[in-house]
Amino acid sequence: MSVKKGSLNIIRLAHGAGGSLQEELINFITKNIPFKNVNNGVGVEELDDGATIPLKDYEKEIVVTADGHTIYPLFFPGGDLGILSICGTVNDLIMMGAEPLALTSIIIIEEGFKFDKLYKLINSMNLMSEKANIAIIAGDTKVMPRGSLNEIIITTTGIGIKDKNIKVLDSNVKAGDHIILTGSIGDHGTALMASREGLNISTDLKSDISLLLEIYKAIKSEIKNNYIHAMKDPTRGGIAAALNNWAYKSNVSLWIEEEKVPIKKQVIAICDMLGLDPYNIASEGRALLSVSPIHSEIVLEKIKSTTIGKEAKIIGEVRAENPKRVFLKTIVGGTRFVDMPLGEPIPRIC
Amino acid sequence: MIYIDIPGLNVLKSKEFTNKIVKKINQIIKEIGKPLKFMHVCGTHEHTISKYGLRTLLPKEIEILSGPGCPVCICPAADIDRAVELGKRDDTIITTFGDMVRVPATNISLAEIKAKGADIRIVYGPNDAIKIARENPNKEVIFFAIGFETTVPLIGYEIKLGPPSNFSVICAHKLIPAALELLMSQSQLKIDGFISPGHVSTIIGLKPYEIFSQGYRIPNVVSGFEPNDVLLSILMLLRQVRDKKYDTLNEYSRVVKPEGNIRAQKIIEEVFKPVSSPWRGIGRVFDGGLVIREDYQAFDADKKYDIKIGKSQDIPPGCSCHLIMVGKLYPYECKLFRNQCTPINPIGPCMVSMEGTCSIYYKYYSEENS
């Protein structure tokens, strides 16, 4: 295994930001894992939202996903770390086309953390798991000396179940498909940035954090019939990272129309001010779907009938030419390329 | 949330209006009947042009060159070397704008000495740096001040206000009109018009540009930053070329006043004086930079400390930033672009800053559309 020298021999914050540096880090960690899948199910090398364990004599398979949750600030407009730790993991199961069944939870706490804060977080977790109708069946708790981590980390593992023949994968996006986005982009990341110290931005913008379960239930039969080829929640790295992932893994090009992408004017204003691209900013309650063109209108209508998918839109289409690229037809009619975001979005100078 | 709706903003991003402007542009370039080169000198203009794909909307006869408009990119390595040298001291906190931390100087960047333990902090403005100075009376707090006329008044204002005695400034400010004049004298460029920067002009007004329209007979339009601002400015330049009437026009009149911001100009005049100054990749520009006047030299880090640096190197071997910054080369014509030089491992300054031409091209242009 090659180890970099000098100043490159350190993990940088950008290695965790969902962009191409993160791919480098994941590859570093996973490339020498000796066994990467079970019974030829989806394994770690696919770098999808989760993995599958096909069981030989059954028509169903188990879907597993894991997510370590940290966030600053712990309590943010529209949510908190507790809500995030349930939604993030449940949503990842759904993005694999699975029905969520159970969660495990590991809570690592810094010495000195206050019980009342912990209570609030646990309460949020319980409320969300009730809403998701999902059991928390096992877990672990550790307390670490002051300074060895920042406040608290919650890691959850999600277990779901799905029919073996359902194939909802990043690598399954097909030329001709229509791309549906279930709501406005960048609300979560922008609300979080605005709430951090030092920026003094006052806004009513809230995180879009939510369970995607309602959408899953609305389109369950389309998932079962394999009309939906891929689903992805655009979290870290925003829709730019999610779409580039699809284009790359499915060897297709994606053509997005900027004027169809729902985006709140507060998000545009704050991102413009900070010099950030909303396409790179995380959502926590949205999904992208790649749907066969014949069924895209039906799927769209079903998503729009849910409380969290009212603003859903078909934002673009999939083509075979120029594979591995994402193109954007801009609001004024020009064309440009949407790149994989590189690292942590930082506000620019002037 | 206080959201200010700027009147007409929708028009500035409306496709119908874009189509009208582009139609006119096509018509006038036919009347002119020869290819033209317009140059902008602002990273934010390049950003607008690239982000909205404006080059793909223009007729092939119109070429939009990207000039030296990124303050981070044109900051000479020697200035960063000085900041690095001071940053190595135990009692010192260096404060500066985000992108500046990553720019490679001659040997090392501020980010690298930070990783080795130096106290380097990113701030949003000089007022934050002064706050740090007040909170750390036992430390020397140095603000590494870069940028064009846009950021100068902020720092001038703080210096005038009387910062604490442990605060000082490495003054690496540059002035835009002087650089434009240098570009004009480089005859091989043959620029047919300038798209001038709206932010800088908000401070300096229109007068400093008159030398170009009146002296060099080159049309000049001060432009805003929405896509139709830039297209409209191109149309305003084309009309001048066609009619052979050369003027300095204000497309960004909703923000820029002809006289500029007089209060800000007075602050600049009072605290700083223009000097001949090196620009990274361009060389020495007459009256192209600022130094702090003697009255305020207590806050001038160069006077306060005896900073010794070695011979500096602005452009690393193989890097074409010096040609890209003056519009002589497009980023994809550089051998290092997308190969050894990427935003993760930038070799030249234009790849570091988000305002840098190479960084913008990396993000928005694929082989297919460049």
Domain boundaries defined on chain B: 70-187+256-363
Residue B369 above 80 pLDDT? no
Tokens (6 digits) for B135: 């909170």
Backbone angles phi, psi at A219, to 5 degrees: -115, 20
pLDDT interval class at A46 (50, 70, 90): confident
Q: Is A275 close to B354, i.e. CB distance below 8 A?
A: yes
Could you tell me the pLDDT band of residue B9, with boundaries at 50, 70 and 90?
low
pLDDT of A86 reads 97
Alpha-carbon gap: B100 to the closest alpha carbon of chain A (Å): 9
> Does A269 reach chain B within 8 Å, measured CB to CB?
yes
Give the C-alpha distances (Å, rounded to integers) separating B2 from A203, B166, B274, B277: 7, 37, 39, 42
> Is residue B2's pLDDT more than 50?
no
Cβ burial, residue B339 (10 Å; 0-12/13-18/19+): exposed
The residue that leads in pLDDT, B283 or A177, is: A177
Q: Do A21 and B147 touch (CB under 8 A)?
A: no
Mean per-residue pLDDT of chain B:
91
Mean pLDDT over residues B201-217, rounded? Answer: 92
**B189 has a pLDDT exceeding 50:** yes
Going along chain A from its start, the domains and CATH numbers come out as 46-163 (3.30.1330.10), 170-337 (3.90.650.10)
pLDDT tens readout for residues A306-338: 999 999 999 999 999 999 999 999 999 999 999
Q: What percent of chain A has pLDDT over 70?
A: 93
Is the minimum CB–CB distance between A20 and chain B shorter than 8 Å? yes
A345 falls in which pLDDT band (50, 70, 90)? low
DSSP classification of residue B337: B
Q: What is the CA radius of gyration of chain A?
A: 20
Q: What is the pTM of this model?
A: 0.83
B152 touching A (Cβ < 8 Å): no
Beta bridge partners of A288: A181, A232
Residues A85-92 have a mean pLDDT of: 96
Task: Kindly indicate the confidence band of residue A350, based on its pLDDT and cuts at 50, 70 and 90.
Answer: very low
Residue A323 has φ and ψ, to the nearest 5°, of -60, 160
User: Using one digit for the tens of pLDDT, what is the confidence trace for A93-137?
Assistant: 999 999 999 999 999 999 999 999 999 999 999 999 999 999 999
Q: What is the pLDDT of residues B104-117, one digit of tens each?
A: 888 888 988 888 88
CB < 8 Å from B in window 195-224 of A: 198-199, 202-205
Q: Does A9 lie at the interface with B, CB-CB under 8 angstroms? A: no
Q: Which of residues 236-295 of B touch A (CB under 8 A)?
A: none
Q: Which option is the CATH number for B70-187+256-363: 3.40.50.720, 3.40.50.920, 3.40.190.10, 3.40.50.11740?
A: 3.40.50.11740
| The pLDDT of residue B8 | 65
- DSSP-derived letter for residue B105 is -
Q: Do B343 and A330 touch (CB under 8 A)?
A: no
Percentage of residues in chain B having pLDDT higher than 90: 66
Other residues' Cβ atoms within 10 Å of the Cβ of residue B14: 17
pLDDT tens-digit profile of A224-253?
999 999 999 999 889 999 999 999 999 999
Distance from the Cα of A112 to chain B's closest Cα (Å) equals: 26
- Whether the per-residue pLDDT at B367 is higher than 70: the answer is no
pLDDT at B179 over 60: yes
Beta strand A326-329 with A335-337 is antiparallel
Predicted confidence at residue A240, as pLDDT, reads 95
- Cβ–Cβ contact A349 with B under 8 A: yes
Q: Once rounded to an integer, what is the mean pLDDT over residues B333-361?
A: 88
Q: Answer yes or no: do A332 and B52 touch at CB < 8 A.
A: yes
Which residues of B fall within a CB distance of 8 Å from A10?
115
B71 contact residues in A (CB cutoff 8 A): 349-350
Q: With bands split at pLDDT 50, 70 and 90, how would you rate the model's confidence at B187? A: low
Least confident of A55-59, A257-261, B247-251: A55-59
Contact A349 B72 (CB under 8 A): yes
Rounded alpha-carbon distances, angstroms, from residue A27 to A64, A171, A349, B210: 20, 18, 33, 56
Least confident of A281-285, B186-190, B237-241, B257-261: B186-190
CA distance B6 to chain A (A): 11
Nearest CA in chain A to B126: A349
**What distances in angstroms separate CA A191 from CA A67, A273, A311, A312, one per listed residue?**
22, 14, 19, 20
Tell me, what's the pLDDT at B158? Answer: 95
* pLDDT tens, residue by residue, A245-297: 999 999 999 999 999 999 998 999 888 877 788 999 999 999 999 999 999 99
**Which chain A residues in 302-331 lie under 8 Å from chain B, judged by CB atoms?**
322, 325, 327-331
Amino acid B186: pLDDT:
73
Share of chain A above pLDDT 90, in %: 77
Find the DSSP H helices in B116-226. 126-135, 152-161, 176-185, 198-204, 210
Measured between CA atoms, how close is B217 to chain A, in angstroms?
31
B125 touches chain A (CB under 8 A): no
